[in-house]
Amino acid sequence: MKKEPLLVWATFMNCGGHSDYVIPEFSLGSKYRTDFVVMQSFSGGWNVAFIELEPVDEEPFDRKSSNPSKRLRGAIKQVNDWRDFEMDEGATLRSQLADAAQKNDTLYPERNLAREPSCVKMPLRDPQTYLCCEYFIVMGRRSHFDENLIHAKSKFARHSSNVKILTYDRFSEVATKLEQQNQYFYYKNRAINETDRKFLAEFAEDSSKFIASGSNSDKSQYLDQIKVHGTCYKLELNDQGDGLIVDIIGTLYEISEDRLTFNLYRVEPDGIALSVADNLESLSTAIQLAEIYERFFYFHLDTKHSLDLVDGLLQSLIENPPYRWTSD
């Protein structure tokens, strides 16, 4: 199952939403651990599925008494403990889910790792974020159920709304549908470039070194200045959101960090931030490009050359930077 996160997601969360995560072996507090947590954000909250996997060859209900088996009763108690933790320790749960989403997602690691999970600008760890939690036990096969046991399972479902019991046949059905819809082909063949692969490996070892601008850290850890080729630039927090503000020849530029890369914006006099470049390799690179871009602007104002020329020169620099070198 760890090798098939799309199958796990589609079995428990195949519906419309924004951000999706599949996290194996998620810990609730220090006492409990789920086999999987599947999450999907929607406008204003999160759907969260906590999943317990029991043996595929273990019968959930006793054939003689039609009561839940000893193994199933133990799983139900465990799920009830999870639910109690959710009800009593909501703030801790949100924080743990957010940390796990940043570090352990297996569904879209190239997109999700190192990014703070949020729904419509509200972070998952915010105490006001709404969690719609469901609890699942997967156990046995449908062949384990005769007519009487099917009735017992339906009766159990009516009286135990806290937990849903599925058999492993559900995974087989979902896998067939995914193959029919060609979703498996897309998922298994989606491009993950070498930069992302390198990041994922390094991030797994030490995530702290990737918080370069302090966007996920305490304000006291923010950089307040940086020296680039002998010039010292003052950096300030952007009060309107994540990122830093730097003054370049009298014009403000906003620099936001996105994992290994940085995005650069020019702040216009009316406060609107216009995108200059994305995916820059370092904070100093973004500042250098902002300096160049601003001087190009002065060049445009002084010489009356068109902005098309300025944009062309800038694009040429972005695509063919003179300072880039390779091991080749």
Tell me if 277 is assigned to some domain: yes
What average pLDDT does this structure show over 219-244? 70
The residues near 308 (Cβ < 8 Å, ≥ 6 apart) are: none
Sign of CA dihedral 223, 228, 233, 236: negative
Is the pLDDT higher at 165 or at 279?
165
pLDDT of residue 36: 96
Per cent of the chain over pLDDT 70 is: 77
265 and 302 belong to one structural domain: yes
pLDDT for residue 293 is more than 80: yes
Q: Which of 121-130, 175-184, 194-203, 256-265 has the lowest mean pLDDT?
A: 194-203
What are the DSSP calls for 6-17, one per residue?
HHHHHHHH-SS-
pTM: 0.61
204 and 223 belong to one structural domain: no
275 and 315 belong to one structural domain: yes
Tell me if 129 is assigned to some domain: yes
Q: Give the closest residue to 62 by CA, choosing from 168, 140, 136.
A: 140
What average pLDDT does this structure show over 96-111? 87
Which one of 181, 208, 235 terminates a domain? 208
Q: How far is CA 45 from CA 24, 118, 123, in A?
A: 21, 9, 9
Which one of 184, 208, 232 terminates a domain? 208
Tell me if 326 is assigned to some domain: no
Banded pLDDT at 93 (limits 50, 70, 90): very high
50 and 23 belong to one structural domain: yes
3-state secondary structure 236-305: EECCCCCCEEEEECCEEEEEEEECCEEEEEEECCCCCEEEEEEEECCHHHHHHHHHHHHHHHHHHHHHCC
Q: Which of 37-46, 73-82, 113-122 has the lowest mean pLDDT?
A: 113-122
| Spatial distance between the Cα atoms of 266 and 294, rounded to a whole number of angstroms | 9
- DSSP 8-state symbol, 168: T
Encode pLDDT of 119-171 as tens digits: 766 788 888 888 999 999 998 888 877 767 676 667 676 656 678 888 899 99
| Spatial distance between the Cα atoms of 32 and 26, rounded to a whole number of angstroms | 8
- Tokens (6 digits) for 73: 């009763």
Tell me if 214 is assigned to some domain: no
Q: Give the closest residue to 200 by CA, choosing from 262, 95, 281, 111.
A: 111
260 and 179 belong to one structural domain: no
Which one of 179, 208, 237 terminates a domain? 208
User: How many CA within 13 A on the CB side of residue 200?
Assistant: 16
| Spatial distance between the Cα atoms of 225 and 231, rounded to a whole number of angstroms | 10
What average pLDDT does this structure show over 285-293? 87
147 and 37 belong to one structural domain: yes
198 and 256 belong to one structural domain: no
Q: What phi and psi, each to the nearest 5 degrees, are found at residue 269?
A: -55, -30
223 and 196 belong to one structural domain: no
Tell me if 328 is assigned to some domain: no
pLDDT for residue 213 is more than 50: no
47 and 144 belong to one structural domain: yes
Is the pLDDT higher at 314 or at 13?
13
- Parent domain of 268: 219-319
Tell me if 203 is assigned to some domain: yes
pLDDT of residue 160: 64
Tell me if 175 is assigned to some domain: yes
Give the highest mean pLDDT range of 7-21, 82-96, 217-231. 82-96
What average pLDDT does this structure show over 263-271? 85
Q: Are strands 27-28 and 20-24 parallel, antiparallel or unpaired?
A: unpaired
Number of domains making up the chain = 2
> For the chain, how long is the longest CA-to-CA vector?
92
* Unique residue bearing structure tokens 């999450």: 39
10 and 33 belong to one structural domain: yes
pLDDT for residue 62 is more than 80: no
Q: Give the closest residue to 124 by CA, choosing from 230, 183, 61, 47.
A: 47
16 and 159 belong to one structural domain: yes
120 and 41 belong to one structural domain: yes
Tell me if 242 is assigned to some domain: yes
